[in-house]
Structure 1
Amino acid sequence: MAHRPAFRLVPAAEGVHLVRGPAVNWTLIAEGGALTLVDGGYPAYADTVEESIRALGRRPGDVAGVLITHGHVDHIGSLARFAERHGVPVFAGAAEVPHVRREFLQQATPGTVLRNAWRPRVPPWALHLVAAGALRDCRVAGVRPLPTEGPLDLPGRPVPVPTPGHTTGHLCYHLPERGALVTGDALVTGHPLTGFTGPQILPSMFHHDRAAALAALEALATTTAEVLLPGHGPLWRGGPADAVARAREAAARVW
Structure 2
Amino acid sequence: MGVRTTEPTELASGVWRLGTDLVNWYLVEDGGRLTVVDAGAPKYQPQLDVALGWLGRSVGDLAAIVLTHADSDHTGFAEALREETGVPVYVHADDESLAATGKPYGKNEASFLPYLRYQHTWRLLAHLAGAGAMKPKPIRELTTYADGETLDVPGRPRVIHMPGHTSGHCACTSRGRARWWSATSCARSMR
* TM-score higher than 0.5: yes
Higher RCO (CA 8 Å, separation ≥ 6 residues)? 2
Deviations 1:188-219 (CA, angstroms, capped at 9, x unpaired): 23xxxxxxxxxxxxxxxxxxxxxxxxxxxxxx
CA offset at residue 116 of structure 1?
5.1
Q: Provide the residue aligned with 1:171 in structure 2.
A: 170
Q: For 2:119, what is the secondary structure of its paired residue?
A: coil
Which 5+ residue runs of structure 1 have no aligned equivalent? 190-234, 239-255
- 1:40 paired with 2:9, answer no
State the Cα RMSD in Å: 2.4
Residue 127 of structure 2: aligned partner: 128
Q: Where in structure 2 are the equivalents of 1:204-243 lying within 5 Å?
A: 235-237=188-190
Q: For residues 162-206 of structure 1, give each alpha carbon's deviation from its aligned partner in whole angstroms, at most 9, with x where no partner exists.
A: 11111111111111121x2221045223xxxxxxxxxxxxxxxxx
Q: Which residue of 2 aligns with 1:181?
A: 179
CA distance in 2, matches of 1:49, 1:33: 16
Specify the alignment match of 1:138 in structure 2: 137
Q: Which runs of 5+ in 2 are unaligned?
A: none
Alignment partner, residue 158 of structure 1? 157
Quote the sequence identity (%): 28
SS at match of 1:154: coil
Q: Which has the larger radius of gyration?
A: 1
Map 1:1-255 to 2 at 5 A.
Answer: 6-102=5-101, 104-105=103-104, 112=112, 117-178=116-177, 180-185=178-183, 187-189=185-187, 235-237=188-190
C-alpha distance 136-146 of structure 1, shift in aligned 2 (>3 A): same
Contact kept? 2:39, 2:76, Cα under 8 Å = yes
Query: After the TM superposition, which segments of 4 or more aligned residues of structure 1 sit over 6 Å from their partners?
Result: none
CA distance in 2, matches of 1:159, 1:141: 24
TM-score (norm 1): 0.65
Output the TM-score relative to the length of structure 2: 0.84
Counterpart amino acid of 1:184? Answer: S
CA contact (8 A) 2:146 2:161 kept: no
- Alignment partners' CA distance in 2, 1:89 and 1:237: 27
**Cα deviation code 1:84-125 (max 9, x no counterpart):** 0111111111111111112632779xx956x75443333333
2: CA distance between counterparts of 1:161 and 1:118?
32
Q: Could you give the per-residue CA deviations for residues 110-151 of structure 1, whole angstroms, max 9, x where no partner exists?
A: x956x7544333333322111111222322121111243332
Q: Is 1:42–1:74's contact at 8 Å kept on the other side of the alignment?
A: yes
Structure 2 distance, partners of 1:55, 1:161, is 31
* Alignment check: 8 A CA contact 2:38 2:68 kept: yes
Q: Deviations over 1:206-254 (max 9, x none)?
A: xxxxxxxxxxxxxxxxxxxxxxxxxxxxx3456xxxxxxxxxxxxxxxx
